[in-house]
Structure 1
Amino acid sequence: MNVKLLQRVKVVDTDDLSSTILDILRTEGYKRPLFIMDHFLAEMPLVQTTQEVLGKNNIQYAVFDKVVSDPPAATVMDGVGAFKAHQADSIIAIGGGSSIDVARGVNIVRINGGYILDYTKPDATIKPCPGLIAIPTTSGTGSEMSNALVVTDVDSQKKLAILSDNAVSEYAVLCPDMVLSLPKKMTIATGLDAFSHAAEGDTSRLSSPVTDAICEKIMFLLANYLPRAVENGQDREARQRVMVAATLAGWMLNNAGTNVGHSMAHVLGSKYHIVHGEAVAYALPGVLKFVSPVLPKKVAEIGQILGLTYRENEDEKQRADRAVEAYRQFRDETLGLHPFSDYGISTEELLENASAVTHEQFAGNTPRNIDEDAAEKLLREFGNR
């Protein structure tokens, strides 16, 4: 049976993080959680308050705060060691994609054994992995809902994905207070990451009428509330709506997937250390232009979501072209994403990655064939303003 929509994560929206986490632990009978996060978040007052509440209620917790961006496999294995040392029974992951990816990796290995890179093989078996409570501190990666984690193989300098519906979070806890202090630059990058999840899902071979409807709503929420969150980080309503959009976008990763936009981001991001949310945003105009001959209506609808009104005498190509420009304007002018030229990477350097892009696992979800010629065209468009 070809199931088009699956949701295994229990989602909780809260204004009281500490009591919510305590309720979840009590409900599930967990008594020895391991917090997984980076060093900065370990010092966040809201996190420390939550830990104090747990301690007062006889919850014995430990902290692993060694998470770094683009986490290498060794960090996951260090987390497994911390889990075993504490004799933990659950994980509370706090952070963005890196922290939640590390936590998911730890959860996979502590239940299934072995080494985390073993599970990058397509035929690897992963048993159900309960016990992961994910608390996002950014609104973009969708890792709290995703069935994927990305880990860096230091030897090959490649970002490798692990996909398993059995490895999703048991709970996703959304608390807008966790993102009120998110810096403007990160708000832009993570928000555009969520937009790309929805736009690529909408234009993926795995899409369906059910996922399309959700992807369209995600893009609508981001088009209307992300600019407000960028303008004023303390706008709680905007933060909450963007957080919901990002979580829904993470859900769509499991059901509609992404396409060659994420392939470029994974290949280029690991090699040149481009911020992931920025990388997918630099890629998206080229992707929309590339798929528009086969999906003109969908690309045009993205333009409408971004505020375009089309004239009756416009043909499909004109509408799609205007939609691509509407996204560029949203990205560069409305939100103010910094130009790709800031990275100092030449077009010639980008083109050297064409073969790697064609072989990246998500490229096959693109509704047109991605060969090296197609990859070169997309790489020439990457970051254009």
Structure 2
Amino acid sequence: MSAQIVLPRIMHVGKDACLKLPDTLATLGCNKPLIVTDKTMSSLGYTAELTTILQTAGIHSDVYDDTVPEPTDTSIMGGVEMVRNGDYDCIIALGGGSPIDSAKAIAVLGKFGGKIRDYRAPRQVNEPGLPLIAIPTTAGTGSECTRVTIITDEAENEKLLCVGLGFMPVAAIIDYALTLSVPPRTTADTGIDALTHAIEAYVSQKANPFSDMQALAAMRLIGPNLRAVYRDGNNQPAREAMMLGSTLAGMAFSNASVALVHGMSRPIGAFFHVPHGLSNAMLLPAVTAYSISAAPERYADCARTIGVADAADSDDTANRKLLEELEALNRELSVPTLAEFGVTREVFDSVVETMAEQALASGSPANNPRVPDKATIIDIYRQLWS
């Protein structure tokens, strides 16, 4: 059976790749961009760096920097209105997954109108919005090369999964130097997010030979380097490996699909405002333990690829080592339980059934090697208190 593979048309990868931005716009025939970013990027000076690079090439740009972590239907509307009222011919997304996801939604809603709920899965949004050039500043989401965006509907307290060719950036500029200032907590959360993407793409029921190669390559880069960048953010070889690993993991899951971890992660973020990578980290050991029996060979490959098992280990031994590694990683990277994050048991109990329903409705759990029912998902959620 064939697999459809979708990637950005243009990619510049490596240190100082940002300098290729004017050339990229010229190739795309664009000359009036809107930069979509957040206040952090502006305060760190990265937004000014981009505008300077563009100005030097004679390109004027405007900036929308009111995106927020875990973007919502409300937070993107300022950018949507700028697109509707302006004459921009492209969007440049600068930042982590949240600004890039925001920019994807802004590019589509700004052109076609409506509300983000109109575009939620299972609808396939294949209509191209404004051309989008994505410049990630974290090694985690891989959003620069995925046909996915996630936006929270504030009124319904629900993270909406939106999928389709219309959300794929036409270009990606992957400059690991932009990650050198990322703090340890964000480095950890985004790094585990990337690792989760690679593992889930590899064990997904929609995996294919192309996604397998990207997922395995991503795990080889992330496995030995995640702790290194957490401990020393100025470790440039490790930062470069993590950035490339994140992009490859994004390619993998965009062309295979994520599974149960992501399906369960979105409601945690929607109800309790846990950052996406952190909620993935909370779930990864428990979901892996639940899923291994349905794909022991695949999970054993993951253990060997990230470097915690070797070729002489049986699959059972490799999988035991994988679970030990995921638990150790959470300890060493200070991943909290839900209680430690500040969620009260009373509130959790009042919404856990809704969370399970939303997880199932996303469709991601159906891609898992072992497909859970609602009761099983609730049970895994309850394990997060341990």
1:371 to 359, 362, 373: 373
2:341 to 340, 343, 352: 343
Gaps spanning 5+ residues in structure 1: where?
A: none
Go from structure 1 to structure 2 and tell me whether the alpha carbon gap of 1:357 and 1:53 turns closer, same or farther (over 3 Å shift). closer
Stretch of structure 1 that moved more, 11-20 or 262-271: 11-20
Q: Which amino acid aligns with 1:55?
A: Q
The TM-score, its normalising length taken from structure 1, stands at 0.92
The Cα offsets for residues 64-90 of structure 1, whole Å up to 9 and x where unpaired, read as 111011211122232121123331111
Q: Distance between the aligned counterparts of 2:241 and 2:60, measured in 1?
A: 34
1:349-368 equivalent positions in 2, closer than 5 A: 349=348, 351-352=352-353, 353-368=355-370
Query: Would you say the 8 A contact 2:265–2:279 is kept in 1?
Result: yes
Stretch of structure 1 that moved more, 40-49 or 260-269: 40-49
1:242-261 equivalent positions in 2, closer than 5 A: 242-261=242-261
- 1:185 is matched with 185
Deviation, 1:109, is 1.8
Q: Distance between the aligned counterparts of 2:40 and 2:263, measured in 1?
A: 30
- 1:325 is matched with 324
1:78-117 equivalent positions in 2, closer than 5 A: 78-117=78-117
Query: Would you say the 8 A contact 1:152–1:159 is kept in 2?
Result: yes
Deviation, 1:338, is 4.1
- 2:172 is matched with 172
Q: Which amino acid aligns with 2:335?
A: L
Go from structure 1 to structure 2 and tell me whether the alpha carbon gap of 1:22 and 1:301 turns closer, same or farther (over 3 Å shift). same
Q: Which amino acid aligns with 2:381?
A: L
- 1:223 is matched with 223
Stretch of structure 1 that moved more, 105-114 or 13-22: 13-22
1:33 equivalent to 2:36? Answer: no
Deviation, 1:346, is 5.8
1:295-306 equivalent positions in 2, closer than 5 A: 295-306=295-306
Q: Distance between the aligned counterparts of 2:53 and 2:303, measured in 1?
A: 47
Query: Would you say the 8 A contact 2:220–2:306 is kept in 1?
Result: yes
- 1:210 is matched with 210
Stretch of structure 1 that moved more, 269-278 or 44-53: 44-53
Q: Distance between the aligned counterparts of 1:295 and 1:347, measured in 2?
A: 33
Q: Distance between the aligned counterparts of 2:310 and 2:245, measured in 1?
A: 26
Query: Would you say the 8 A contact 1:118–1:124 is kept in 2?
Result: no
- 1:281 is matched with 281
Stretch of structure 1 that moved more, 44-53 or 86-95: 44-53
Go from structure 1 to structure 2 and tell me whether the alpha carbon gap of 1:310 and 1:52 turns closer, same or farther (over 3 Å shift). closer
Q: Which amino acid aligns with 2:384?
A: F
Stretch of structure 1 that moved more, 46-55 or 87-96: 46-55
The Cα offsets for residues 156-184 of structure 1, whole Å up to 9 and x where unpaired, read as 00000110023200111011221101000
Q: Distance between the aligned counterparts of 2:306 and 2:345, measured in 1?
A: 29
Q: Distance between the aligned counterparts of 2:178 and 2:281, measured in 1?
A: 24
- 1:195 is matched with 195
Q: Distance between the aligned counterparts of 1:375 and 1:9, measured in 2?
A: 38
1:134 equivalent to 2:134? Answer: yes
- 1:54 is matched with 54
Deviation, 1:310, is 6.4
Query: Would you say the 8 A contact 1:108–1:126 is kept in 2?
Result: no
Deviation, 1:330, is 2.6
Query: Would you say the 8 A contact 1:142–1:250 is kept in 2?
Result: yes
Q: Distance between the aligned counterparts of 2:17 and 2:50, measured in 1?
A: 7
Deviation, 1:134, is 0.5
The Cα offsets for residues 109-138 of structure 1, whole Å up to 9 and x where unpaired, read as 233332332111523654123520111011
- 1:20 is matched with 20
Deviation, 1:372, is 1.8
State the number of aligned residues: 382
The TM-score, its normalising length taken from structure 2, stands at 0.91
Q: Tell me, what secondary structure is at the counterpart of 1:11?
A: strand
Query: Would you say the 8 A contact 2:282–2:336 is kept in 1?
Result: no
Stretch of structure 1 that moved more, 42-51 or 157-166: 42-51
Q: Tell me, what secondary structure is at the counterpart of 2:293?
A: coil
Deviation, 1:217, is 1.8
Q: Distance between the aligned counterparts of 2:345 and 2:366, measured in 1?
A: 24
Go from structure 1 to structure 2 and tell me whether the alpha carbon gap of 1:124 and 1:203 turns closer, same or farther (over 3 Å shift). closer
Q: Tell me, what secondary structure is at the counterpart of 1:270?
A: helix
Q: Distance between the aligned counterparts of 2:311 and 2:144, measured in 1?
A: 41
Q: Distance between the aligned counterparts of 2:306 and 2:329, measured in 1?
A: 8
Deviation, 1:318, is 5.0
Q: Which amino acid aligns with 1:47?
A: T
